[in-house]
Chains A and B, each alone.
Chain A
Amino acid sequence: MAIKDLPMEEYLLEGHAACPGCPITIALRTALKALGKKTVLVIPACCSAVIEALYPKTAFNVPVLNIAFEAAAAGASGVAAALKMLHETDVVPVVWAGDGGTYDIGLQALSGALERRTDFIYVCYNNQMYSNTGIQRSGATPYGAWTTTTWGGKKEHQKDLSEIVMAHHIPYAATATIAYPQDLFNKMKKAREMKGPRFVEIFAPCPPGWRFDMSKTVELAKLAVETGVWVLYEAVNEHIEFNGTSKSIIEGKKERRPVEEWLTLQGRFRHLTPDDITEIKRELDARWEHYRQLYHSQQKGE
């Protein structure tokens, strides 16, 4: 699908309160085009709760229930149950949460909702930190990254949320990024057309948080995939398929670009030592070895 063929309807309106160069608005605009009018957003504390704009106005053209930080998936469970009782099963509750609200404080509620086979979509837009509160480390922050709670760089690697989610054996899980809106649109559309718990994680480079120029949001998202820092795949009924550049890398048709290209564009990595870069490369290699095993085990299973 060409980008000009995306639906014309806009559910993210003008006048929202996002920063210039914000990846979340790209993600929201694209995702909502795929989700359509019959969508209820459930939004915990995160940047999107600000992007909505100030009461009594709203920039969202679908109903939104704001909910407490750790509670989004539970709130969506209640919405889903009520919609079922009201026979409004064509309406889908969609959690729209950041990585802090998903990897960290909201993980219990998410796990519970997935295990209960809640009929909803959970979207985590991952900008690798608590950006709304002003750039603090989260469980998604990568090794070495400066944040305002890791002034000397984070000492630990991020966890793998999508694989935690997939361990719940749900019908649909996918990763995406704002650099490839058609891929994101298609994944959201596929999720929209299925039933049961569905999950999409969207990689979202944040200019003020990562310390890069606001014109480079898309470029950085693309580089993340090309260097292998982010991987694109989807799992339909637990069958994993790698997509786009990630597919070419896993099939050996393309080399990962050097991770330094990704690191040097961002002020948050400016202080890294050669040892830090070695450690980042070690983790990246280990992660890709894991992806390769995943890929080959899937091929064997066919």
Chain B
Amino acid sequence: MIVIDTANHIAALAAKMARPKVAAAYPITPQTTIVERLAQYVEQADVDMEYIRVESEHSAMTACIGAAATGVRTFTATASHGLLLMHEMLHWAGLARLPIVMVNVNRAIGPGWNIWSDLNDAMSQRDTGWIQFYASSNQEVFDGVIQAYKIAEHHDVLLPAMVSYDGFILSHTSMPVDVPDQKEIDAFLPEFKPGWRIDVENPITHGNIVPPEPYMEIRYSMQRAMEKAKRVIEEVGKEYGERFGRYYGLVEEYRCDDADYVIVTMAALAAEAHFAVDRLRERGEKVGLVNLRTFRPFPYEKLNYDHMIVIDRDISPGLGGVLAHEMKALPGEVYGFVAGLGGVDVTYKDIERIYALAREGKQGWYPTEVK
């Protein structure tokens, strides 16, 4: 069935169809229409779920941790400052190996207050042990949420997963989305089987004081799980494609086969870059696009190109664009551009201009300081 709706309503619909038993969430712009829609679902009995209207995002994540530890599928959604308030508990969920799924609507961080898109909120959670997906369209939001559960709950993985997309550019923009039947979703995503759970018949203590050596083992096992997640993401993306006709992997490669230069970016900027690549190709430029669907685990094996033009809608002050700097360890040449912070519009024309600047060997802050 084709549904035309905003990414936020699509995310809420996907969450509902994944049948979480507990959701806990707190309103924040531009995510709020997700919590509103979830409340409607619950009040209209469209979904059998305990919905905890918590008093903060910190408590939202903590309640999800408590519920997931008790052995049920959970959901939450947030944005920006809400995600930052969760930060401690993001680590907690990762280290506790609880496959919570969260939607994060990317929004710039204040001050000054800014409700528009940039990816700094999610990018600054990169070390919390969460699998991070970025969506470029409302369809990818739907498909991403459903797949995120299957990947996170896979027993080779058992890590929490976050699906991020740009505030307003996607969150409040209606697009057509192909939504499978509930039966098909149920067949793809069976009921959650926890890796461990709180059980009065098996009274274990979870998370007590741990000496250095076993702590390092816990960290090592997380790292291994992230590495295994790469295979699982590819497998689940393939199975999703076989069932629903839309294939997914760690990255989306667009017109890359004979490309001399590839543009590497993520989220809504990647959608825009498709148009830029098409227009550049019409002019004979051998350019492609790598859309990073997965930022954690980091798909470095998919970034094997000689010339990579990286556009970051995020900034690590004192370093530069986060993605560009993570890629500088790769063998190829990286041209890093920081653009579109705080919701500054970046159109396909800007991306064509960035391409031209990179061809001159330049990089930097677009458009003001490119050298």
Question: Across the interface, do A62 and B203 meet the contact criterion of CB distance under 8 Å?
Answer: yes
Q: Report, nearest first, the 9 A-B pairs whose CB atoms are least far apart.
A: A78-B66, A112-B55, A82-B70, A66-B207, A74-B59, A78-B63, A58-B205, A81-B50, A78-B67
* Cβ–Cβ < 8 Å partners of A49 in chain B: 208-209
B21 interfacial by beta-carbon distance below 8 Å: yes
Question: Across the interface, do A108 and B55 meet the contact criterion of CB distance under 8 Å?
Answer: yes
> Beyond A58-B208, A74-B58, A79-B67, is A67–B198 a contact (Cβ under 8 Å)?
no
* Cβ–Cβ < 8 Å partners of B24 in chain A: 74, 77-78, 81
Question: Across the interface, do A78 and B70 meet the contact criterion of CB distance under 8 Å?
Answer: yes
> Beyond A83-B70, A86-B72, is A109–B206 a contact (Cβ under 8 Å)?
no
Chain B, 265-282, contact with A by CB distance < 8 Å: what is the 0/1 string? 000000000000000000
Question: Across the interface, do B65 and A82 meet the contact criterion of CB distance under 8 Å?
Answer: no
- Partner of B66 from the list A53, A60, A67 (CB cut-off 8 Å) is A67
A residues with CB within 8 A of B: 37-40, 42, 49-50, 52-56, 58, 60-68, 70-71, 73-86, 91, 93, 108-109, 111-112, 115-116
Question: Across the interface, do A52 and B200 meet the contact criterion of CB distance under 8 Å?
Answer: no
* Cβ–Cβ < 8 Å partners of A63 in chain B: 198-200, 202-206
Question: Across the interface, do B59 and A77 meet the contact criterion of CB distance under 8 Å?
Answer: yes
Q: How far is the CB of A180 from chain B (nearest CB, A)?
A: 28
Which range holds the interface residue count of chain B? 35 or more
Query: Could you list 24 A-B pairs, sorted by A, with CB under 8 Å?
Result: A38-B200, A39-B200, A40-B200, A49-B209, A54-B209, A55-B208, A55-B211, A63-B198, A64-B203, A64-B207, A66-B206, A78-B64, A78-B69, A79-B66, A81-B50, A81-B52, A81-B63, A82-B22, A82-B67, A86-B21, A86-B72, A109-B55, A109-B56, A112-B59
In the complex, besides A62-B203, A75-B62, A82-B69, 20 extra interface pairs with C-beta distance below 8 angstroms are A53-B209, A55-B208, A55-B214, A58-B203, A58-B204, A64-B203, A64-B208, A65-B66, A68-B89, A68-B92, A71-B58, A74-B62, A77-B63, A79-B70, A80-B66, A82-B67, A82-B68, A84-B50, A112-B54, A112-B55
CB-contacts of B33-58 with A (<8 A): 48-50, 52-56, 58
- Partner of A82 from the list B54, B66, B200 (CB cut-off 8 Å) is B66
> Beyond A68-B92, A75-B66, A116-B53, is A85–B59 a contact (Cβ under 8 Å)?
no
CA distance in complex: A61, B69 (Å): 18
Residue among A50, A77, A109 with the most chain B CB within 10 A? A77
